[in-house]
Amino acid sequence: MLKDRLVELNAIKFGKFTLTSGKESDYYVDIKIAATDPRFLDEVSTELSRKVNAKVIAGVELGAVPLIVATALKSGLPYVIIRKEEHLHGTKSPMIGNVKHGEKVDVIEDVVTTGNSVLRAVKMLRDMGAIVNRAVCVVDREEGGAQLLRQNGIELIPLVRISEVKGK
């Protein structure tokens, strides 16, 4: 099971951590380290591809990149990488990949805490004319992200909820 593999791979660490959101936490979910294991990446991309129902998948650099690439290879779907920061050289595009106006896109994320990163990505995709109403994440920390996304017309579909892992 995916939650067991996360524990085996030490992708859930306990201690004092500052999250991307700025919140303090006594645990950290590190999907990036788990994604360096080919077996885990194969397993998680299989699960993600089963949940996706759009024509394109998208994710925010850095954590979602191995997930969307592996999922694209499994599903045959094209993907879009959304930059975290403004790109000041080359095309200066906020994303890598193509999204057509009216095209359905599912966002893939490694970990959702507040939901702000996913919401930013969705807004950017919607501004490009994409239809985005679903996000699939590996782990939902269950700290309000699903509610924020729901308020903005986005269904969050987690593969694992942190309560399933911490409750072990």
Q: Determine the pLDDT at residue 91.
A: 54
- Quick one: average pLDDT of 36-43? 96
The pLDDT score that the predictor gives to residue 74 is 96
| Residue 51 near residue 75, CB atoms below 8 Å | no
Per residue in 12-33, pLDDT (tens digit) is 988 899 987 788 899 999 999 9
CATH number, domain containing residue 121? 3.40.50.2020
107-142 pLDDT tens trace = 999 999 999 999 999 999 999 999 999 999 999 999
Per-residue confidence band for 86, with pLDDT thresholds at 50, 70 and 90: low
Residues 6+ apart with CB under 8 A from 89: none
CA proximity to 136, closest of 18, 45, 48, 19:
48
Question: Mean pLDDT score of the chain, rounded to an integer?
Answer: 92
Q: In the structure encoding, which two tokens stand for residue 71, read together?
A: 């999922």
pLDDT at 146: 98
Tokens read off for 77? 């779907």
Mean pLDDT of 29-47: 95
Cβ-contact 26, 15 below 8 angstroms: yes
Higher pLDDT among residues 85 and 59, named by residue: 59
Give the chain's domain count. 1
Tell me which DSSP letter residue 61 carries: T
- 86 is in which domain, residue-wise? 2-166
**For residue 131, what pLDDT is reported?**
98
pLDDT at residue 168, as a whole number: 47
Which SS3 state, helix, strand or coil, does residue 31 take? helix
Q: Which amino acid is at 36?
A: T
